[in-house]
């Protein structure tokens, strides 16, 4: 992995690589960064924590039995999802695995979390909500019971009252986080949706169809 200098004073044509982080033995599949550290997940089944400034590997988290496909973290915890169908909760300070969440029937492809809840998406086409403190599954969004996705869940994001998810089924779905009711399904992409972001006003989505779309979110 590499860190690039993109300060405002830099010329775009002369952006320099500041740090190269070497330690994984296979493809780096996912990462997240804050102002102090980088957390990465790899096909080597490991999660690593790196110092952003020096590139030094501070922790190596071993426990998954298949490639790590998604990671997220805050100042206390790292959450990782993998092709072994599990989600692991790690203590950031020590690297100790605190919980392993089991419930998905296929690889965990995407996740997000806050102070109380982990939300995960999977190759099994479902979205699951988990209580962070107990590790128990507290909700499932699927096709049969929730008019959910019919394809792999590629990405999701959430705020205090909405979940937005996107899938290989070419759709984006918006859910009420409390009731788990589907609010709307957005259908305009002609191929699977691979990434998204949203705020109070817009959803931005990218797709295998080679387009980026902006959706008016102010009505939701």
Q: What is the mean pLDDT of residues 109-117?
A: 98
Domain boundaries, the chain: 1-9+26-102, 115-128+141-220
What are the pLDDT digits (tens) for 47-106? 999 999 999 999 999 999 999 999 999 999 999 999 999 999 999 999 999 999 999 999
Q: Where are the beta strands (DSSP E) in 135-191?
A: 137-141, 153-158, 162-167, 171-176, 182-187
Residue pair 31/18 in contact (Cβ under 8 Å)? The answer is no
User: Sign of torsion, CA 151 158 133 96?
Assistant: positive
Which CATH number is 1-9+26-102 given?
A: 2.40.10.480
Enter the pTM of the model: 0.92
- Per residue in 118-174, pLDDT (tens digit) is 999 999 999 999 999 999 999 999 998 889 999 999 999 999 999 999 999 999 999
Domain 115-128+141-220 fold is Thrombin, subunit H (2.40.10)
């Amino acid at each position: 992995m590499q860190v690039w200098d993109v300060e405002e004073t830099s010329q775009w044509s002369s952006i320099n690589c500041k740090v190269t982080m070497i330690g994984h033995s296979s493809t780096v599949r996912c990462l997240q960064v804050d102002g102090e550290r980088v957390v990465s997940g790899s096909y080597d089944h490991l999660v690593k924590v790196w110092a952003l400034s020096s590139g030094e590997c501070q922790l190596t988290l071993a426990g998954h039995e298949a490639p790590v496909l998604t990671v997220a973290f805050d100042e206390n915890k790292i959450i990782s999802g993998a092709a072994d169908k599990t989600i692991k909760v790690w203590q950031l300070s020590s690297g100790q695995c605190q919980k392993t969440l089991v419930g998905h029937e296929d690889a965990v492809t995407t996740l997000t979390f806050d102070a109380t809840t982990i939300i995960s998406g999977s190759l099994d086409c479902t979205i699951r909500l988990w209580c962070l403190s107990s590790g128990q599954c507290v909700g499932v969004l699927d096709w049969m019971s929730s008019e959910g996705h019919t394809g792999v869940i590629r990405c999701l994001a959430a705020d205090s009252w909405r979940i937005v998810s996107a899938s290989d089924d070419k759709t984006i779905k918006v859910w009420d986080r409390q009731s788990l009711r589907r609010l709307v399904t957005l259908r305009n992409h002609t191929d699977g949706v691979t990434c998204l972001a949203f705020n109070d006003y817009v959803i931005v989505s990218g797709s295998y169809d080679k387009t980026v779309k902006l959706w008016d979110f102010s009505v939701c």
